[in-house]
Structure 1
Amino acid sequence: MELIIKNLDKQYGNGVHALHDVSLTINKGMFGLLGPNGAGKSSLMRTLATLQDADTGSVTLGDIDVLADKASVRKVLGYLPQEFGVYPRTSAVDLLDHLALLKGFESGADRKQMIEQLLVKVNLWEHRKKAVASYSGGMRQRFGIAQCLIGDPKLVIVDEPTAGLDPGERNRFYNILSEIGENIIVILSTHIVQDVRELCTQMAIMNHGRVLFSGKTDDALLEVRDKVWEKKVGKAELADYQQQYKVISNKLVGGQPLIHVFSEAAPGNGFDRAEENLEDVFFAKLNQLV
């Protein structure tokens, strides 16, 4: 099954043009949608999740017209928004039972079996009787994945899922996403480059509502291979280097700026070739260097 997005456009009433002629083809597996805040990622996710309409364009999931047949989409969709509310005193098992009932699972025995399997999958079975509102951030995100998987969806969308999670919870979340992404389409919308590199074989980079890159993660790295150079510079020198070179990024290492620059040939002046990474691609695309 493929998700095919063609020429999608969306402008809000306040004049914000959130999506500009967005076209993507997304196959089974983990797909990373990478971009800074305000890039249009959430607008695209909300459109795919049938929560808002597009102005123009088309979206198909297999033989389903996503924009026209929202009821059919919702039957095969799992969605984890950036923030989601819960009933304050409702336990995980009761809330999943309620959500499963809303999704059309009328058999109590079937719901009970499915809910047990889901809570075991996300490692929350021991906490099934606790109120979801009392969960830690990581536990709530894992509960969010459980509710995504009700009904064996064909498309799962997760929006900024690891923001605020500690490293242990991030790793647990990665493992769950990787497992479910083996058989269905999983779209991971994030501004965290590491999330995409560790999880996804396909990706797109967005900014200001436009797609700057779409393809395999390894192909993205090819665009900057042997063209990234690094050097430690003094803080007072940073502005001069930014004027002289195509600076991709700078970060403090041991209290001293380490800059990455884009150059087809060795720039000299003490620069060493850097091992390219997805963060270099991301910032080079945002700064229109490649």
Structure 2
Amino acid sequence: MKLEILNLNKQYANGVHALKDVSLTIGKGMFGLLGPNGAGKSSLMRTLATLQEADSGEVRLGEIDVLKEKDKVRGILGYLPQEFGVYPRSSAVELLDHLALLKGVTVSKERKELVAYLLQKVNLYEHRKKAVKSYSGGMRQRFGIAQCLIGNPKLIIVDEPTAGLDPGERNRFYNLLSEIGEEAILILSTHIVQDVRELCTQMAIMNQGEMLYNGTVDDALDLIQGKVYEKSVEKNSLPDYREKHDVISDKLVGGKPLIHVFAQQAPEEGFTPADANLEDVFFAKINQLI
């Protein structure tokens, strides 16, 4: 089964053109959708999750017309939005049982077994009687994945899942996503480059409603291999370097800015070749340097 998106457009009433002729084909496995905040990622995810209408375009999930056959999509969809609400006093068991009932698991014994299985899968079984509202950020995201998996979905969408998680929680979440990504089409929408580098082989970069790159992570890295140079500079000299060079990014290292620039050869004395990474690709694409 493949998810095929063709010339998808969405413009809101305030004039924001969130999706501009977006086209993608996504197969089984984990697909990373990378872009800054406001790039249009959430608009695309909400459209695929049947939560909003598109203005034009086509989306097909196998034989299903996603834009017209919303009930069919919802039957095989798992969706973890950037933020999701919970009933304040409901335990994980109670809430998953309720969600499973809404998803069509009407036999009580089957629901009980399913809920226990899902809580064990996301390592929350020992916390099953606690209110979900009391969970840490990482625990809540793992609960969110558990509810995604009700009904053995064929398409799973997770929107900014690791934002706000500490490194330990992020690593646990990576491992969980990697496991479930083997069984379905899983779209990981994020602005965190590390998420895509760690988890995905296929990816796209999006900005201002448009697709800037679509392909493999390795091919993306090849675009800038041997063309990124770095130099530690003084803070007050940053504007000059930005004027003279194609600066991809800068970050403080030891209290001084370390700049990465895109160039066919070493720009000047003091620059050394940098190990090109996916973050360089991301910023180079966003800044239209490649």
Relative to the length of structure 1, the TM-score reads 0.99
1:263 lines up with 2:288 in the alignment: no
1:187 lines up with 2:192 in the alignment: no
Measure, in 2, the Cα distance between the counterparts of 1:142 and 1:102.
20
| Structure 1 runs of 4+ with >6 Å offset | none
Residue 236 of structure 1 and its aligned partner are, at CA, apart by 1.4
Helix, strand or coil for the counterpart of 1:252? Answer: strand
Helix, strand or coil for the counterpart of 1:84? Answer: coil
Measure, in 2, the Cα distance between the counterparts of 1:124 and 1:134.
13
Helix, strand or coil for the counterpart of 2:212? Answer: strand
Q: CA RMSD in A?
A: 0.6
Residue 74 of structure 1 and its aligned partner are, at CA, apart by 0.3
Bigger shift: residues 264-273 or 154-163:
264-273
Counterpart of 1:215, as a letter, is: G
Residue number in structure 2 paired with 1:49 = 49
1:27 lines up with 2:27 in the alignment: yes
Measure, in 2, the Cα distance between the counterparts of 1:27 and 1:263.
35
Residue number in structure 1 paired with 2:156 = 156
Structure 2: which 5+ runs fail to align?
Answer: none
Helix, strand or coil for the counterpart of 1:161? Answer: coil
Residue 266 of structure 1 and its aligned partner are, at CA, apart by 2.2
Counterpart of 1:244, as a letter, is: K
Residue 268 of structure 1 and its aligned partner are, at CA, apart by 2.8
Residue number in structure 1 paired with 2:96 = 96
Relative to the length of structure 2, the TM-score reads 0.99
Measure, in 2, the Cα distance between the counterparts of 1:265 and 1:229.
8
Helix, strand or coil for the counterpart of 1:250? Answer: strand
Measure, in 2, the Cα distance between the counterparts of 1:177 and 1:140.
14
1:89-115 per-residue CA deviation (whole Å, 9 max, x = no partner) reads 111011100000001111111111111
What pairs with 1:125-274 in structure 2 (closer than 5 Å)? 125-274=125-274
Counterpart of 1:11, as a letter, is: Q
Measure, in 2, the Cα distance between the counterparts of 1:152 and 1:173.
19
Residue number in structure 2 paired with 1:124 = 124
Residue 208 of structure 1 and its aligned partner are, at CA, apart by 0.3
Structure 1: which 5+ runs fail to align?
Answer: none
Counterpart of 1:222, as a letter, is: D
Residue 14 of structure 1 and its aligned partner are, at CA, apart by 1.2
Measure, in 2, the Cα distance between the counterparts of 1:241 and 1:96.
54
Residue 204 of structure 1 and its aligned partner are, at CA, apart by 0.5
Measure, in 2, the Cα distance between the counterparts of 1:33 and 1:224.
19
Residue 198 of structure 1 and its aligned partner are, at CA, apart by 0.3
Measure, in 1, the Cα distance between the counterparts of 2:120 and 2:200.
24
Residue 269 of structure 1 and its aligned partner are, at CA, apart by 1.9
1:40-92 per-residue CA deviation (whole Å, 9 max, x = no partner) reads 00000000000001000000011111001000000000000001000111110
Measure, in 2, the Cα distance between the counterparts of 1:100 and 1:70.
19
